[in-house]
């Protein structure tokens, strides 16, 4: 029983942590971020299964996490109000050709990073961009004029 | 359609295709039932309390009856003598030690011996009303799967005073 409770706690803890950390950090994994994620994964495993080496324990935890994933996806699908909390919302970074500096600061994004993302989208200048949207998966969509 | 999409059916059919959401739903129901059973105590670890009441002593055992590989767990034995027990001896069935790592037994017995695979822990004299609690800490060997007897018997010398029947099941 405690396995289910620990897995549930960790599931919601990770949900909150990913919301707090921000989508950009999670979508663009630098080596440091990657190692940190591996370390977090290891700590989570120790906290959830502790000394339990059994198949029963592993099955319980995996099934619990699977059910919670489906449940949150279903809630997000059915309850519109919960969607920003569970999945986040797209955020407009450039509107009508104007870079929204305050939004960039809030998302801890520099103009240089925005320009780099634009180059990756094969856009030569931010002046050509009409809208840029930070999607819930951390990637940036550009719409040119 | 390009050759990259040649193998992809626009509307998959068959038992595991898009038109068979029942399979996914059925598995989710199975998962939910499994978790409900786990929450109900199917996978053990919760300590069960058992008691044996004899005319000369009462014996209680608090220990899980189902454990899993790698798990650390505790068994607590309490002896409540009604009369003086000159040579209190606690017999632990082999199931307590077979494939188990014994982390500690506190208080430590004055002596230990074994008879027919069972372990006998001998303690000093107990006066009437002088209860004694023995804590046994174990860790389960992950390869130690199955069910085994794990009774606890209280003796005064060779004389049985109280017995608690207990079984230990180790899940894979």
For the stretch B127-161, pLDDT in tens is 998 999 999 999 999 888 999 999 999 999 889 99
Q: What is the pLDDT of residues A99-111, one digit of tens each?
A: 999 999 988 888 9
A56, B171: Cβ pair inside 8 Å? yes
Chain A residues within an 8 Å CB radius of B71:
51-52, 54
- Domain span at residue A72? 2-87
Last residue within a domain, chosen from A87, A102, A123: A87
Last residue within a domain, chosen from A87, A104, A136: A87
Whether B47 has its CB under 8 Å from any CB of chain A: the answer is: no
Q: Are residues A79 and A104 in the same domain?
A: no
Q: Are residues A21 and A77 in the same domain?
A: yes
B68, A52: Cβ pair inside 8 Å? yes
CA–CA dist A111, A104 (Å, integer): 8
Q: Are residues A83 and A112 in the same domain?
A: no
How many domains are contained in chain A?
2
For domain B47-171, the CATH architecture is Sandwich (2.60)
The stretches in chain A having pLDDT less than 70 are 23-28, 145
pTM of the model: 0.75
Nearest residue on chain A to B68, judged by CA atoms? Answer: A54
Q: Are residues A79 and A9 in the same domain?
A: yes
pLDDT at position B13, please?
Answer: 60
Chain B residues within an 8 Å CB radius of A74:
none
Q: Are residues A101 and A83 in the same domain?
A: no
pLDDT at position B118, please?
Answer: 92
The stretches in chain B having pLDDT less than 50 are none
H/E segment holding residue A71: helix A55-78
Give the Cβ contact number of residue B84 at 10 Å.
Answer: 14
């Amino acid at each position: 029983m405690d396995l289910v409770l620990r897995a549930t706690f960790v599931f919601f803890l990770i949900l909150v942590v990913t919301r707090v950390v921000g989508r950009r950090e999670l979508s663009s994994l630098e080596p440091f971020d990657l190692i940190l994620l591996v370390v977090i994964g290891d700590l989570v495993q120790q906290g959830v299964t502790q000394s339990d080496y059994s198949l029963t324990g592993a099955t319980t935890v995996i099934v619990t996490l699977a059910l919670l994933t489906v449940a949150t996806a279903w809630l997000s699908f059915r309850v519109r109000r919960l969607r920003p909390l569970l999945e986040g919302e797209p955020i407009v970074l450039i509107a009508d050709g104007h870079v929204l500096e305050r939004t960039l600061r809030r998302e801890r994004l520099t103009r240089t990073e925005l320009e780099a993302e634009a180059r990756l989208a094969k856009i030569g200048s931010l002046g050509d961009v009409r809208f840029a949207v930070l999607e819930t998966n951390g990637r940036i969509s550009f719409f040119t004029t | 359609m390009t050759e990259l999409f040649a193998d992809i059916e626009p509307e998959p059919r068959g038992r595991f295709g898009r038109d068979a959401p029942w399979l996914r739903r059925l598995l989710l129901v199975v998962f939910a039932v499994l978790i409900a059973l786990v929450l109900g105590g199917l996978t053990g670890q919760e300590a069960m309390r058992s008691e044996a009441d004899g005319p000369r002593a009462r014996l209680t055992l608090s220990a899980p009856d189902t454990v899993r590989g790698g798990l650390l767990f505790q068994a607590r034995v309490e002896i409540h003598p009604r009369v003086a027990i000159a040579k209190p001896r606690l017999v632990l069935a082999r199931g307590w030690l077979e494939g188990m790592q014994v982390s500690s037994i506190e208080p430590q017995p004055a002596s230990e011996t074994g008879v027919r695979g069972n372990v006998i822990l001998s303690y000093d004299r107990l006066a009437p009303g002088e209860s004694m609690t023995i804590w046994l800490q174990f860790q389960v060997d992950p390869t130690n799967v199955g069910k085994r007897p794990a009774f606890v018997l209280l003796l005064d010398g060779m004389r049985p005073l109280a017995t608690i029947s207990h079984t230990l099941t180790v899940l894979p």
